[in-house]
Structure 1
Amino acid sequence: MRIGLIGLGRIGAFHAETLSSLPGVELIVCDALPAVTERIAAKFGAGAAAGPADLLRRDLDGVVIAAATDAHPQLILAAVESGLPVFCEKPVARGAAEAEEVLRHCAGKAVQIGYNRRFDPGFVAARAAVAAAELGRLHTVRSTTLDPAPPPAAYLAASGGIFRDCSVHDFDIIRFVTGREVVDVYATGSARGDDVFARTGDAATTAAVLTLDDETIAVVSNTRYNGRGYDVRLELHGTADSIAVGLEDRLPLRSVEPGVSFPAGSPHDFFMDRFATAYRRELTAFTEVVAGTRESPCTVADAVEAGWIAEACTLSLREHRPVRMTDVRSAA
């Protein structure tokens, strides 16, 4: 199976390592910087292409896109028009309205969007517990993504804001685990931290309350400044039981209760460490999509829904008011 990989930055290089280790995968790579292309190709024994156009002319079975966000729509459509199954890192596009346009051109095509938490064993188990009604009637969800430090200022200035580049993982996993849709949101936040947040109208720490279509309440917490480490958790509380994802020995949270030694491990400090297994399972799933043995496990439509929730939260933060999903869609 010949897989092309476009974009060899931090996540692209990580995907190159994973793909090159999968049985039966022959990898061809390209990056905007020729020296990077040559270095990654040599490191992982991959072929090298001069750029996306050159790569798409090769005899490929599928394409993985890990380029900058602004290039995602064009590259997805180019790969689809070449008749190739596509894996693209989130988001589909910078804004949900543009992502909707991509969706219209991808109807019926094999496109998988990179929301890796769908492949993490804990989140998969939580989804199964909800589907089996083990929790009774679900009433409260708490989803957390706390980064230990902000990304580079250049990334933040072009990311579209914390809801679009960070919280979307929480929004997607809430939909995935509960099987419900969001009907309205209320978001608040603070720009305390680097000046880039205030300059770009972004926030460094946020909270959002989402009301789901069965009246379950979901609370999403995010920050760029979690000094103890990379903290990703999900709590689900129901009338019969409560469960948690991420409650393990590398949880970056310190108990001050007398006599309590949990958690005992070293805290997670990086997303690639926390989700190493999920990333491998995600790309393994894509090879199955390419082989035609499974449907896309995270469609463009799924990613568009998470994007609309991000748009609603961004608007809510800016205008200090609740926002209904129907309103934000109609205003686009």
Structure 2
Amino acid sequence: MSKQLNIGVIGAGRIGRLHTENLLNHPQVNVKAIADLQIDHARAWANGLGIPLLTQDAEQIISDPGIDAVFICTSTNTHIDMIERSAKAGKHIFCEKPISFDVRGTRLALQAASDSGVKFQLGFNRRFDPNFRRVREIVASGQIGDPHLIKITSRDPSPPPHDYIKVSGGLFMDMAIHDFDMARFLSGSEVDEVYVQGAVLVDPVIGELGDVDTAVIMLRFRNGAIGVIDNSRQAAYGYDQRVEVFGSLGQVNVQNDFPNSAEISTAGGVYRDKPKHFFLERYEAAYRHEIESFIKAIVNNENVPVSGEDGYQAELLADAAKKSWLEKRPVSLSEYSMSTS
């Protein structure tokens, strides 16, 4: 394969545009085409970037023999179809999370990618955050001993629009799925059991739509560790992203990222700016690094760092979390896996 990769981006919403702009800054990438059902809304932006082909039909990208890889940045309900068609066409695939809302469908899509021999990477960008990656390295090195407690705080600055809530898959599949992946990544262990307490404390309409906006999720890991994830759709002070791993020999933690490190001290108090506002700012570097790793895996014929199996396991945890909330009981992953096999 040529060292210069031709890539097509399917979906020109917020995340599709972010990936496109990062791809254009990669020296081994040529963004050949962008597809979106509402392509006219993206035309001025794409023309300004010099993208050769803009289309409403994703098939023009999937069937183009000159395109080596696709970025699937469409709504979740389209992912399985896009993955299966792209794999059949021999395209390497980068897909945003989650793969689907149906773990059976996810398994079939991943099998299609595996059978075709293409690279498949999932968009769990937080793994590429330098601070979180450092936590994983420290845990894996044994510096803090055996992990006992894993704590993850993930709170958004404001809830998404109601129309988005309707199609998002809910807090567990849409928002906490990143935290489920982080739990597996940081601990180096699979999860055996999930127990959830959820509430509607931010926006009553979210409850009317059958979802929660506030949750505490307890995890029991296979290695014996215990995990706690707390989620909220609204933190008045900004985007709150913190982790801690406590072990037999010590602990390692990561606090929020701030726009600057200035701390102001006056007679009225000591204060600083609020954390970076949302995920595009907080994980700006991580988004670049995940693209670099995907391109490197293709060019060097290496394994991708975030596999479809990682996506599948996170979806299982998200679905088990929802089941725990609905049924008000701990859910064993062995029980859940048997029911979805």
TM range (shorter): over 0.9
2:318 equivalent to 1:323: no
**What secondary structure is seen at the aligned counterpart in 2 of 1:86?**
strand
2:72 equivalent to 1:72: no
TM-score, length-normalised on structure 2? 0.91
Listed one character per residue, the Cα deviations across residues 88-111 of structure 1 (whole Å, up to 9, x for unaligned) are: 000111122221221222225310
2:77 maps to a residue whose letter is D
2:206 equivalent to 1:197: yes
Distance in 2 between the 1:217 and 1:301 partners? 22
How many residues were matched structurally?
327
Q: Determine the structure 2 residue equivalent to 1:46.
A: 51
Contact persistence 1:145–1:232 (CA under 8 A):
yes
Distance apart, 1:194 and its partner CA: 2.5
- Closer, same or farther in 2 for the Cα pair 1:265/1:194, shift >3 Å? closer
Distance in 1 between the 2:53 and 2:200 partners? 42
2:38 equivalent to 1:22: no
**What secondary structure is seen at the aligned counterpart in 2 of 1:142?**
strand
2:249 equivalent to 1:277: no
2:254 equivalent to 1:245: yes
Within 5 A, what are the aligned runs for 1:105-254?
105-107=112-114, 108-249=117-258
Distance in 2 between the 1:241 and 1:43 partners? 51
Within 5 A, what are the aligned runs for 1:51-66?
51-58=57-64, 59-66=66-73
Structure 1 residues without counterparts, runs of 5 or longer: none
2:278 maps to a residue whose letter is F
Distance apart, 1:303 and its partner CA: 0.3
Q: Determine the structure 2 residue equivalent to 1:308.
A: 316
2:13 equivalent to 1:5: no
- Closer, same or farther in 2 for the Cα pair 1:207/1:239, shift >3 Å? same
Contact persistence 2:194–2:330 (CA under 8 A):
yes
Comparing 170-179 with 104-113, greater Cα deviation is found at 104-113
Comparing 9-18 with 195-204, greater Cα deviation is found at 195-204
Distance in 2 between the 1:52 and 1:92 partners? 17
Distance in 1 between the 2:44 and 2:79 partners? 23
**Which of residues 31, 38, 46 is equivalent to 2:36?**
31
Distance apart, 1:247 and its partner CA: 4.6
Distance apart, 1:260 and its partner CA: 8.6
Q: Determine the structure 2 residue equivalent to 1:94.
A: 101
**What secondary structure is seen at the aligned counterpart in 2 of 1:106?**
helix
- Closer, same or farther in 2 for the Cα pair 1:292/1:260, shift >3 Å? farther
Listed one character per residue, the Cα deviations across residues 71-127 of structure 1 (whole Å, up to 9, x for unaligned) are: 111111111111111000001111222212212222253100000011110111111
Distance in 1 between the 2:44 and 2:9 partners? 14
Distance in 2 between the 1:43 and 1:184 partners? 49
Structure 2 residues without counterparts, runs of 5 or longer: none
**What secondary structure is seen at the aligned counterpart in 1 of 2:41?**
helix
- Closer, same or farther in 2 for the Cα pair 1:86/1:248, shift >3 Å? closer
Contact persistence 2:126–2:283 (CA under 8 A):
yes
Distance in 1 between the 2:185 and 2:151 partners? 14
Identity score, percent: 32
Contact persistence 2:194–2:321 (CA under 8 A):
yes
Q: Determine the structure 2 residue equivalent to 1:103.
A: 110
Contact persistence 2:12–2:39 (CA under 8 A):
no
1:316 maps to a residue whose letter is S
Contact persistence 2:180–2:314 (CA under 8 A):
yes
**What secondary structure is seen at the aligned counterpart in 1 of 2:99?**
coil
TM-score, length-normalised on structure 1? 0.93
Distance apart, 1:267 and its partner CA: 1.7
**What secondary structure is seen at the aligned counterpart in 2 of 1:219?**
strand
Distance in 2 between the 1:21 and 1:327 partners? 46
